[in-house]
A and B are shown apart, each in its own frame.
Chain A
Amino acid sequence: MFGSSEPGGFAVTNGALERPMVRIPMTGTWDRDTAGAFVETLFARHHGEIYAYLVRMLRDPELAADLTQDAFVKAYRAYDTLEKGENARAWLYQIAHRVALDDLRRRRIVRFLPFTGESKGSSPSAEHLAMDVRLSGPLERAMARIPERQRAALLLAEVHDLTGLELAAALGISHVAARALLTRARQSLREALADERAAEAAAEAERDATYAQGQESGR
């Protein structure tokens, strides 16, 4: 089904920024074989980075895998909406980004609580448990604290190396709005990092004080 591509169905070219890009001609109609070949190539190229992006956004590897799969299936179904000359990688990020935001929205609304055996009112929130377990460093904790769209912008620009235009396409906003969002994101990250570092320093000072107290009383 996806083992080969029709000649002329799509071509792999490099973009102006030497990024591998997948371009397809705008056919206006959905074709199963072309869609299959297209998404297969897209998967081969980008599934790792899409998965990584979703892991960073959602902080849940299992869920990220499910949503990566979902994103590629959506790409398969909608490949004919990709405009001629449009950057397929950015388009794919746009799909993944929407999938992630949909899930984050749903998780905000519906929150099952973990069953810890504790009685009513004493259960820690699922969010806190997830934070405690999965976010070890100040950077990740800070990233988790900033708004999701800002987090997405930072990840896409700095970790996934999207250009300004690609970032705008992935986020589904204008180039100007994407740059403004990224500027706000950098500022938010600075503040969140400062808070995290301060909290970490305070915790360390407390540990030191406790240790010193223990040493003192042991003498």
Chain B
Amino acid sequence: MSLPFRRRHNDAEASHDRARSIIANGFLESTDPADDAWLETHLEGCADCSAELHGYAADRELLRGLRSTLPEPPRDLWARTAASIERDSGRRDRAGRASHAGPRIGRVPIGVLSGVLVVLVVVATSLFPPKGLTPIEPTAPGASDVAVVTPQPEVTPLPVTARLSWVEERSDGTFQLVFADVAEVCTSNPEACAPIEDTSTTHLILEDEPESVLLAPDSAQLVVVTKAAPSGGGGEVIIVPVTTPEPSLPPGETPVPTPVPTVTPDPTPTILPSATPTLGPGETPGLPTPTPPADGSVSILSGVVVVGEAAYSADGQWLAFSARPIDGTSGPDLYTWHVGAEPQATAVTSDHRTFFAGWLGNLILASRVETTVPEEPLASPDASASPGAAPATTAKPGRTPRPATTPSPAAPGGSAGPSASAGASPDVTAPPAEDHPISFLLDPATSPATVIDLAGQDIWRPVVNTTSRTIVYWSGTLVPDATGTGWELGTGQLVLDAWIDPAVDGTASPEPGATAGATATAGATTTAGTTATPRATPTLAPGTSLDPLASAVPTPPPGPAGSPVVLAEGLVSDFDVSFDPTGTRLAVWIRDPENAHVGTLRIVAIDPVTGAINPALDPLPAATALRGFSIDAGRLAWVTPPGQDGESSHVQVMAWTGDEFGQVRSVAADWLSVVR
């Protein structure tokens, strides 16, 4: 058999290539006798190829030496595999997709099943050892070993009290809200715990598939964000009243009563220009009129794509999120909805580059992309003084604007998004411009904004926990995304830093207007020894565009140095972080750049006193999870992607008591979304 090789003009080189190829393949399988004869002749006159032959042979012997040190698989591997297969079968049965005609064998307890199978494994392995490999038996022969490999029942499941909820698709294609109480989790093998059982289910009537679901702090209503349908529907933010069962609380705990807001559905709610004061004429097309949903639910915004996650304020009186028009004509703006007091959500920015990050008590944390334009002075304080003024094209104070390809606004009052450069002569070979973000605190009721300063660093989408006094943010730049109206992460790192509360620590001057309803105000930290750059703290009057840099404000004095720790770096394309209420557990989800819906989830343990990470406590190093996890007191819940462990998705729960962690999961289903 002739081996394929490309004949080159240099016949000598080609003959060496041929020799190498024959030598290499000769170790794999028998070669053509003609090739062998040719090689033998060639080797007589080619010392290099002879050395090659001996080198390959020596390397091969080294490699084959690995056979003697083959690692031994875990003894419970079959038990785990069998359990996964069992669940897979259950899912197939439920889905009615199994089309076999033969009689089914009933469900067998995993322990019994595994015991039987281990015996079979031992027998089969001893009967049919694989050739060429050191046989690896799951157990050494002997009855006692069989007993050992039988999956040990969880000796003492960890008792917890964790409540969670999720939305799942019913067999008829509609959706239902499921509440479940988790009483115990298994510390070593999550599959040893019985699947989570539903406490109650509520049928949800939704016309479109939910993108994300959020439960209000009082559990009286859901916020359902529906997916934008290709046909043009969807893209709504819907408030759905729900009735929740009483949670099973441990003795001594009493639920905190919270007022139930009443939402009066407007039969024909519309978004009037006055309701979105920052959307001036000639800007993005008007959003479609929401259609009144059924069952007492109300659409507070439609025709949008919600960017990031929506969240309620600490007192449950405000809902905030960022959203962009569904037609992609502009970037995101910040929206708020005063629970029960407004018929629909209201845009509070019009710059099309503001992203909701979260809440700090009852103050909104948001981030805005600051585009830079070369040779242009910093924004004048008047830049956004009037309604409908052109979005400020600003540079961050203290930073020299870089020569940038970032476009200027397309038109007065128009989008400042990356696509605004249309009509210019873009240099297609130039690397994408890197924009810098700022972050600020905003009181939704009175609209004063305060810029967060961490020694002049780029801060994007900060999340703060005042209990552990820590802040997580993207310390880096942003680059325009493929849509031309949005941004994605550029160069930087996701970091955890110290959060210095000026109200408590006295290191900064709190902004007077930013104190309403929040324990922590105007949090600003600067690194000790650095010179604080004058910060601007604008106020946002209704109907005006937000420009946090528009007016001069008192400068927060330098505070204690933070010591940022890198949580993730590399090709981080998106992230989602959230603290538990104690601030001692931080959930970090990093998106897979190639799949916007999937990412890797990790729990970070934080010392509540020092704010430092406890590296010894790493209970969830990297779990694959769909976007949209939920972390609350004593538990983290997420949805596994289809295909994990050979199953459809299931809700996976990690719960903890002190420093003890365990897991449990729901039964698998084809479509699940954990309620945040």
Contact = CB atoms under 8 A, between A and B. Distances in A.
Contact of B84 (A73, A163, A164): A73
Given A45-B124, A45-B125, A52 B71 contact: yes
Query: Which of A1, A49, A74 neighbours the largest number of chain B CB atoms within 10 Å of its CB?
Result: A1
A55 B570 CA distance: 25
Nearest to A6: B102
Contact of A3 (B100, B103, B117): B117
Interface size class of A (residues with CB under 8 A): 35 or more
A119 B571 contact: no
B123 to A, nearest CB: 8
Contact of B567 (A32, A73, A112): A112
B557 interface: no
A52 B104 CA distance: 34
B25 interface: yes
Given A1-B86, A32-B89, A159 B63 contact: yes
Interface in A11-56: 12, 18-20, 29-34, 36, 39-41, 43-49, 51-52, 55-56
B565 A119 contact: yes
A171 interface: no
A106 interface: yes
Contacts of A161: 131-133
A118 interface: yes
Contacts of A91: none
A190 interface: yes
A117 B604 CA distance: 13
Contacts of B25: 164, 179, 182-183
A193 interface: yes
Interface of B: 3-4, 20-21, 24-25, 27-29, 55-56, 59-60, 62-67, 70-74, 77-78, 80-82, 84-86, 88-89, 92, 98-100, 102-105, 107-108, 113, 116-117, 120-121, 123-125, 128, 130-133, 135-138, 475, 493, 495, 563-572, 588, 590-594, 599-600, 602, 604, 612-615, 618, 621-622, 624, 644-647
12 contacts: A1-B105, A47-B81, A49-B70, A52-B71, A68-B73, A68-B81, A110-B590, A113-B566, A115-B615, A119-B563, A183-B21, A187-B24
Given A2-B120, A117-B615, A159-B64, 13 more contacts: A1-B108, A2-B117, A30-B100, A48-B135, A55-B71, A68-B77, A113-B566, A120-B565, A158-B60, A159-B66, A182-B24, A186-B56, A193-B59
Q: What 10 A-B pairs come out closest when comparing CB atoms?
A: A73-B646, A48-B136, A161-B132, A44-B124, A51-B73, A183-B24, A115-B615, A31-B100, A158-B63, A120-B564
Interface of A: 1-3, 6, 12, 18-20, 29-34, 36, 39-41, 43-49, 51-52, 55-56, 61, 64-65, 68-70, 72-74, 76-77, 89, 106, 109-121, 123, 139, 154-155, 157-161, 163-164, 167, 176, 179-180, 182-183, 186-187, 189-190, 193
